Chains A and B, each alone.
Chain A
């Protein structure tokens, strides 16, 4: 076998998708659609509200969306591997009350708080991962239990809304850098970069394969247990980060702070087009899905719609997002088949 011949043949094929193919794939995927949706929505918003493009509004929107975006990013990892994680609500509540009950001031305090939040999320994720991957409990049952435990612990620490988050965290982390860049946005950017790295590791590929076809993953030599546990641990750490960012934004503690995140993270994941039966989707799409959700809410409620409707609105969006996701999948698959 001549090496020359091999090389020549090897290059006769494209080894990377062409630019048009890439663009087409992006548009057909959930990511493309949600980006377009967000831009259209923002366009409408800016026509209707002239202050939409000011730095202040952008900062506000970003600060609002960041906790949900990060939590949705974490949830995406579990959904990709074909699971549901309810503990997101518990971890966010728990980290939030800890930051309000034990404020640590100054930049060093912020770093310590962040480390504590990540550690709490990581430990909860490890427990979830153990229950789901090793004991093979259903993810809903296991994470329901850990959610209840975390909620209970939050109530033990802080039995009613109150407490104050350290000033450095609540002021400096919600501010802007160089007058334009929201600092909270940088955290999301960091999550995106980490995801892009993660996607290029054995874990990243494993996540998609395990979600799509666990048997095939196993027969291809992937350590399914490890991938599952890791997805819960990283997901949990992201919930911890989300709790940290939420505390920075609200500046106070609430033992029920995480409750609304349960539904909103799923709505964001579904809006981003991630398949709820696993194996297809993207963390970035979920982040934009979260931003879209918050923007939609802002547009509606800035218009004077009573805030009582928030729940109804979010519920409807969740169901519609899932239906929408199914339709897109169907469309993409049908086109892929012909």
Chain B
């Protein structure tokens, strides 16, 4: 006989939402007992793939097979019954449940008269908790009372409990402190024959656990690589497609003698532990950090959403205590938020109206918003980001994600603020849009504007930043300047390794 079919097989799976294609012709083979990695940048289609495999959404086309039989889950529960379970990145534990309920939902243990028995449920949960070495968690504790790390462990334990054939782990270590716990469990799971799909952007972890990886880029599967044969650089290249990004770093030589546009002196509070930095006029300062190192709080503090308890913020030399985003804009700080859909766009308004909203007062004459003037202003703003003016009259919801992002960048730049605060500005956009956004940021700096840029992609920082600061443990941990901004050095600093060659470079630079 020939070899048995793969445990899980996906063939040419495609999923699109309206005009945007999230996943295109992705195929995947997963053998029993294998840990298979899925790598890719934000927006590469990883979470769409997870959702399809776990039954949350159905693909537009393509086929999936489980042990050779057709697998087309129509719900999470259906997938679970087939033996496929998922630990989601966004953690699917409702805060008002107990640990036991969360673990066993929706089928809880029943006692007399077929009614749910809290005692039996807790008992069953205690066994699961023990099996997955979570004895420090009480089955009757409320989810809301648990730390994020514990919630993530529960999410993983629940998925393992139900994953008889395939276990999907979506960024399982985002909030974990003890990764060995996870690795041991993954190993014993695969020893029992379960296949594991491991989605992560942390290459080191992936190398420890997996032999084979599928790399996704812009919704397509670009390669299936044996991890032992590929260097980190090779894999990064596959993920970001360096050939397309080879235009090199920022060429503009920036004069360090200019005035400071934004200065932070020992800013503490909202998790920040004394952040000191400055951004000169015409300078792009990059912030590199792993998840949860205080970058979110840093930006939130600058726009007044979090309060600093001590320290000083100076904008253009004048002390400012931002009270609200409105106040920050007035002081000259314009913010491009992280979540385009949730924090950025007004889906019911036109693209033009979206762009000019913060300055609507200034472009109105005698109290009226003149459509011609509005469109003219929006067109002027969108020139800088290479947004096709014909989109201005469309509802922004009908635009692709990339064009929406361009419009939001145009909005941030059009407030007239001299300092841009950009939080992951190319999240989930295609390569062409990235180029346009990079060009717009550089042009802004060349005109004398200053930029504080956080990015989850190191290539973006090496390419754009005049100076790059590494946040680690909610304080500035390392600083790299000019040529010293280089991926390998950044990667080391990100994980808190200060005694390596980067250190000397930093000192030379400082």
A and B touch in the complex (CB under 8 A): yes
Q: B105 is contacted by which of A17, A221, A280 (Cβ under 8 Å)?
A: A221
Considering the chains assembled together, what is the distance between the CA atoms of A229 and B75 in angstroms?
A: 18
Q: A16 is contacted by which of B91, B93, B118 (Cβ under 8 Å)?
A: B118
Quick one: closest A residue to B116, CB to CB? A200
With A15-B139, A15-B140, A16-B118 in contact, do A208 and B56 touch (Cβ < 8 Å)? Answer: no
Min CB distance B270 to A, Å, is: 16
CB atoms of A15 and B126 under 8 A apart? yes
Q: Count chain B residues whose beta carbon lies closer than 8 angstroms to a beta carbon of A.
A: 39
Q: A205 is contacted by which of B77, B116, B126 (Cβ under 8 Å)?
A: B116
CB atoms of B76 and A336 under 8 A apart? no
Quick one: closest A residue to B97, CB to CB? A209
With A1-B131, A13-B138, A212-B94 in contact, do A204 and B105 touch (Cβ < 8 Å)? Answer: no
8 Å CB contacts to A: which residues of B317-342?
A: none
- Residue B445 interfacial (CB < 8 Å): no
Q: B77 is contacted by which of A17, A197, A221, A336 (Cβ under 8 Å)?
A: A221
Query: In the assembled complex, which residues on chain B have CB atoms less than 8 Å from the CB atom of A200?
Result: 115-117
- Residue A322 interfacial (CB < 8 Å): no
Considering the chains assembled together, what is the distance between the CA atoms of A14 and B75 in angstroms?
A: 34
Min CB distance A12 to B, Å, is: 7
Query: In the assembled complex, which residues on chain B have CB atoms less than 8 Å from the CB atom of A1?
Result: 131
Q: B138 is contacted by which of A14, A218, A280 (Cβ under 8 Å)?
A: A14
CB atoms of A9 and B102 under 8 A apart? no
Q: A12 is contacted by which of B77, B93, B117, B135 (Cβ under 8 Å)?
A: B135
CB atoms of B102 and A220 under 8 A apart? yes
8 Å CB contacts to B: which residues of A198-253?
A: 200-202, 204-206, 208-209, 212-213, 215-223
Q: B140 is contacted by which of A6, A14, A279 (Cβ under 8 Å)?
A: A14
Query: In the assembled complex, which residues on chain A have CB atoms less than 8 Å from the CB atom of B91?
Result: 216
- Residue A10 interfacial (CB < 8 Å): yes
Considering the chains assembled together, what is the distance between the CA atoms of A306 and B138 in angstroms?
A: 56
CB atoms of A15 and B106 under 8 A apart? no
Quick one: which of B56, B106, B138, B144 has the most chain A CB within 10 A?
B106
Query: In the assembled complex, which residues on chain A have CB atoms less than 8 Å from the CB atom of B129?
Result: 13
CB atoms of A219 and B144 under 8 A apart? no
Min CB distance A208 to B, Å, is: 6
8 Å CB contacts to A: which residues of B106-158?
A: 106-108, 115-119, 122-123, 126-127, 129-131, 135, 138-140, 142, 144-145
Considering the chains assembled together, what is the distance between the CA atoms of A201 and B88 in angstroms?
A: 26
Quick one: closest A residue to B110, CB to CB? A200
Min CB distance A84 to B, Å, is: 19
- Residue B95 interfacial (CB < 8 Å): yes
CB atoms of A208 and B96 under 8 A apart? yes
- Residue B80 interfacial (CB < 8 Å): yes
Quick one: closest B residue to A199, CB to CB? B116
* Contact sample, A vs B, 28 pairs, CB 8 Å cutoff: A12-B135, A13-B126, A13-B129, A13-B138, A13-B139, A15-B140, A16-B118, A16-B140, A201-B116, A202-B108, A202-B116, A204-B116, A205-B108, A205-B116, A206-B106, A208-B94, A209-B97, A209-B105, A212-B97, A215-B90, A216-B91, A218-B76, A219-B56, A219-B92, A221-B75, A221-B77, A221-B105, A279-B94
* Interface residues, chain A, with chain B CB atoms under 8 Å away: 1, 6, 9-17, 197, 200-202, 204-206, 208-209, 212-213, 215-223, 279-280, 336
